[in-house]
Amino acid sequence: MRSLKECVDMHLHLGKSRDGGELTLSDIRKAMKKYEISHAVIFAIDEVDTGPSYEKVNNRVLKAVSGDSSLIPFGRLNPRAGDKAFAELRRLSKAGVRGIKLHPRSENFSPQQARDLISEIEAEGLPIILHTSHEKNCNPLSWERIFKSHSRTSFVLAHGAKDAFQEAIAVAKRNQNVWLETSTLSYWRTSVILKKLGTSRLVFGSDLPYSHPAVERTKLDLLLSPSEQRKVYSENPKKILGG
C-alpha cells in the first residue's frame, strides 16, 4: 500500500452482529493505525438488541467517537420503526452525526417504505450509506426514483451492489448524487466500475469486520494511479461529508 496523507474509510461497523461479525473500538483503532487510515466512518452493526430504531447501538457509536476527530459517526435507522425512526433521526442530528446508514436487507424495507424518512434525512442535510446488492429491496434500479427525487442528498452504494454492479454503474451514470463504494467486490468487477464510471464518484470502504482494509486498499492501489488514489481515498469522501 502506498502511503497517503489522508485516507478515509467510508464503511466500518461497531458492535457484535447477530450473524457473528464483531468489531470493537480497539479493533478499529488498531486497523486504522496499521493500514494508514486517517479517518473512518463508523456505524452500528446489526445487533440482536438494537432498540426500536438502533438507539442503543447508535449511543455506543456516539460514545466511541467522543473526543476523537478521526472517527466520523453515522447513525443507523430502521424506516419500519415509524415515528421512533424520525425521533431518532432528530436526536442523532442534534448529537452531531455526519450521515445515516440504511440497510434494506437487514431491516427488510422497500424504497417506498423508506421514502418519508429519507425526505427528513435530506432536510437534515445528511448523506446516506445504503446497502446495495442483488438481494430483495437492494438493487440500485429499485432505488433510482428515490435518488432522483432526493437529488440534494448524496447516496453511497455500499458494495457497489455486489452481483448487481452493472446496474449500480448505470444508475450512477444517470444520477450525479450517487457514489459507489466497492468493498467485497472482486478485483475484476471493481476494474469494470473504474473503466465505465471512472473515479469521480468512487470511494473506499473496508467493510470491517466482513472484509479488510488490507484487501480493499490493495485492490484499489493496483487499479489507481497516485492522483486517482487521492481522489478516491480523500477528495471524494470530503465532498460527501462536507470537508
Q: What is the pLDDT of residues 190-206, one digit of tens each?
A: 999 999 999 999 999 99
Is 2 part of any domain?
A: no
Domain CATH number, residue 146: 3.20.20.140
What is the DSSP code string of 136-169?
TTT-HHHHHHHHHHTTTS-EEEEGGGGGGHHHHH
> CA 184, CA 190: separation in Å to the nearest integer?
10
Is 19 part of any domain?
A: yes
Is 16 part of any domain?
A: yes
Residue 47 pLDDT more than 90? no
Is 1 part of any domain?
A: no
pTM for this predicted structure: 0.96
Is 113 part of any domain?
A: yes
Residue 2 pLDDT more than 70? no
Residue 124 pLDDT more than 80? yes
How is residue 103 written as a grid cell?
440497510
**3-class secondary-structure state, position 179:** strand
Is 3 part of any domain?
A: no
Q: What is the pLDDT of residues 129-162, one digit of tens each?
A: 999 999 999 999 999 999 999 999 999 999 999 9
Residue 243 pLDDT more than 90? no
> CA 104, CA 221: separation in Å to the nearest integer?
30
Q: Which residues lie across from 13 on neighbouring strands?
A: 43
> CA 99, CA 93: separation in Å to the nearest integer?
9
> CA 27, CA 209: separation in Å to the nearest integer?
9
Number of domains the chain is built from = 1
Range of the domain at 186: 8-241
- Average the pLDDT over 211-233 and give the result: 96
